């Protein structure tokens, strides 16, 4: 449905949204979101290029959101790293079809459009403020990015993983 | 959204649905659907394993649908080759989440569920019987699987393409 890269980008943005007061680097964010550090580094670079996050240099530097979570849609995050591919013209390049899609490709594009609409109408704020559900990325009872012991999660729990590649496959 | 393999499977099923009287082999179907022959061969094998098509052996053999197009949903075709991946448990393996998804993964799963519902409610018949739209896989004014000259499309128009791999990337 959405690519692994898009899912990882959402994890990063959700984690940063839960930590407005901090500015931590790639290793910390990668560990907290259970993403290989090399992969997360590329995801954060893409998010920075799109203007959703900024990177502060220096020893105490790190990443921060550029807007409040209520002003960032799920769709923006996905489209920043691996946009949902709409069908704008015949994938078979049939000249007589052009932009007037046949029922097969119209049906597929309608599904993509409905997903786009749903994600455009969901904000990051909604994902971190539902008291009836587990907190994203965290074991219950602890805040975003904290371990069960209450200590901030460090890079030591980074999982080994396959190499990155900014466009991932579907999960 | 859906994988290339799923899209190719839909093209094959739509083409076969438009040719209930014929029984043609992989090279013909690959050419008519603009899919590399090796890739189409794997897709047809997967569709046969799922019971959506049968292969008749022999010189005049080939593939046919096992059910009328009105009894085959778009979802069945997709799920025969590359199922839509729902999220049934926490992708981060957080124990306290388990099957109770956090708002992030619930939102993603809801989108997948809505796509599943839409595809489950669409039949192959609907895709080949809309007179207001171009005929799938064909230039306007000719039947499914025929060229503009009115002759059946032969394998000679098979496009060169990359190797198969039954699970494709998103298109």
CA torsion angle A50 A170 A154 A20 (round to 10):
40
Strands annotated E in B29-131:
53-56, 62-65
The answer to whether the CB atoms of A170 and B170 lie below 8 A apart is yes
Among residues A109, A78, A171, the alpha carbon closest in space to that of B83 is found at A171
Tell which of A9, A17, A77, A102 to mutate to test the B interface (max B CBs under 10 Å).
Answer: A102
The most distant pair of C-alpha atoms in chain B lies apart, rounded to whole Å, by 64
Q: Mean of the pLDDT values across residues A77-90?
A: 90
> CB A134 to CB B97 under 8 A?
yes
Q: Measuring CA to CA, how many Å separate A135 from each of A43, A127, B39, B96, B104? A: 22, 9, 43, 10, 9
CA distance readout (Å), B86 to A135, A171, B60, B75, B98: 20, 9, 41, 13, 14
Half-sphere exposure in the Cβ direction for A101 (13 Å, CA):
14
Residue ranges, chain B, pLDDT below 70? 139-171
State the average pLDDT over residues A14-30.
89
Chain B CB contacts of A2 below 8 Å: 108, 111
Strands of B23-163, DSSP E? 53-56, 62-65
Which region, left, alpha or beta, applies to residue A150 given φ > 0 means left and ψ of -120 to 50 means alpha? left
The per-residue pLDDT of chain A, averaged, comes to: 80
Q: How far apart are CA A121 and CA A112, in angstroms?
A: 14
pLDDT reported for residue B91: 83
Helices A26-33 & A37-49 angle (0-180, nearest 10): 110
> How many residues in chain B?
171
Query: What is this structure's pTM?
Result: 0.74
Look up the CATH number of domain B4-83+123-157: 1.10.10.10
For the four alpha carbons of B158, B152, B72 and B109, in that order, the dihedral sign comes to: positive
pLDDT tens profile A107-166: 889 989 999 999 999 999 998 888 778 878 776 655 554 443 344 443 333 333 443 434
Residues pairing with A11 in the sheet: none
The CATH number of domain A4-84+123-157, selected from 3.30.590.20, 3.40.50.1000, 1.20.1530.20, 1.10.10.10: 1.10.10.10
Look up the ipTM and state it: 0.71
Q: How many CB pairs under 8 A join A and B?
A: 141
The pLDDT value given to residue B141 = 54
């Amino acid at each position: 449905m959405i690519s692994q890269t898009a899912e990882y980008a959402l994890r990063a943005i959700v984690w940063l949204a839960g930590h407005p007061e901090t500015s931590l680097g790639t290793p910390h964010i990668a560990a907290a979101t259970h993403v290989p550090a090399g992969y997360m580094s590329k995801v954060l670079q893409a998010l920075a290029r799109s203007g959703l996050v900024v990177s502060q240099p220096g020893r105490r530097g790190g990443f921060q959101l550029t807007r409040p979570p209520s002003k960032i849609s799920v769709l923006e995050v996905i489209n920043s790293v691996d946009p949902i591919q709409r069908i704008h013209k015949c994938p078979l390049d049939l000249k007589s079809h052009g932009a007037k899609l046949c029922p097969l490709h119209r049906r597929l594009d309608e599904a993509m459009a409905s997903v786009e609409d749903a994600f455009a109408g969901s904000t990051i704020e909604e994902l971190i403020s539902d008291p009836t559900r587990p907190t994203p990325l965290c074991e219950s009872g602890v805040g975003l990015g904290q371990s069960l012991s209450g200590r901030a999660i460090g890079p030591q729990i980074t999982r080994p993983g396959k190499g990155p590649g900014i466009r991932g496959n579907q999960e």
